[in-house]
Amino acid sequence: MFAVALDQREDGESFPASIAGVGLVRACVRNADGTSNLVLQGLYRVKFTHFTQTDPIYIGVPELMSSDLKESAEIRSLSGKLVKTVTRIHRNSKDREECIEKFLRDIEDAEMLADVVAGSFVRGIKSRQDILETVCLRDRLELIARCLRSEYPGASGRD
């Protein structure tokens, strides 16, 4: 497992964002140029309290971030609207696969739905970081919906 953090730059300096995702490597494909492509399964969101090493790689002390996991009618409604929005986006896509719609509808955990949709459909790097940093599940679902409407103008429809 390792953390993946957004690379931030300030005054010519590069450093990782303090909030990151921790994942488990599920697959690794080595490329001819010596680099690798990894498939990670996200497990946790963490906040780094400090870094014990910065060279050649950053090693930090993480603190787990917990969501306010409150199942409610509002969360179920926002989740349903998010699935409808993604379905509209997906139906307009050239790379449309029928199984994604059923897969999303079958996700019962609203936090997992938020993570899958944000990771698969939100394009903006800054938007993805903002979503990662949003602790309140309701706020995160609403932010994802706003990002999708902004990035995919045709996704707006009546919910």
| 37 close to 18: Cβ distance less than 8 angstroms | no
In this prediction, residue 64 carries a pLDDT of 93
4-52, pLDDT tens digit by residue? Answer: 898 888 888 888 999 999 999 989 999 999 999 888 888 889 999 999 9
Query: Buried b / exposed e across 45-78, counting CB within 10 Å, b at 16+?
Result: bbbbeeeeeeeeeeebebeeeeeeeeeeeebeeb
In this prediction, residue 95 carries a pLDDT of 61
Domain ranges in the chain? 2-65, 73-155
Which pTM does this prediction carry? 0.82
pLDDT at 149 over 80: yes
In this prediction, residue 98 carries a pLDDT of 64
| Alpha helices (H) in the chain, listed in sequence order | 73-91, 99-106, 110-121, 125-133, 137-151
Domain 2-65 has CATH 3.40.50.2300: no
Measuring CA to CA, how many Å separate 124 from each of 119, 129, 131, 144, 146? 10, 9, 10, 11, 12
Quote the CA–CA distance of 111 and 3 in Å, as a whole number: 19
The rounded percent of the chain whose pLDDT value lies above 70 is 91
In this prediction, residue 101 carries a pLDDT of 74
Give φ, ψ of 120 to 5 degrees: -95, -25
Rg (CA), the chain: 17
State the DSSP code for 57.
S
Quote the CA–CA distance of 159 and 157 in Å, as a whole number: 6
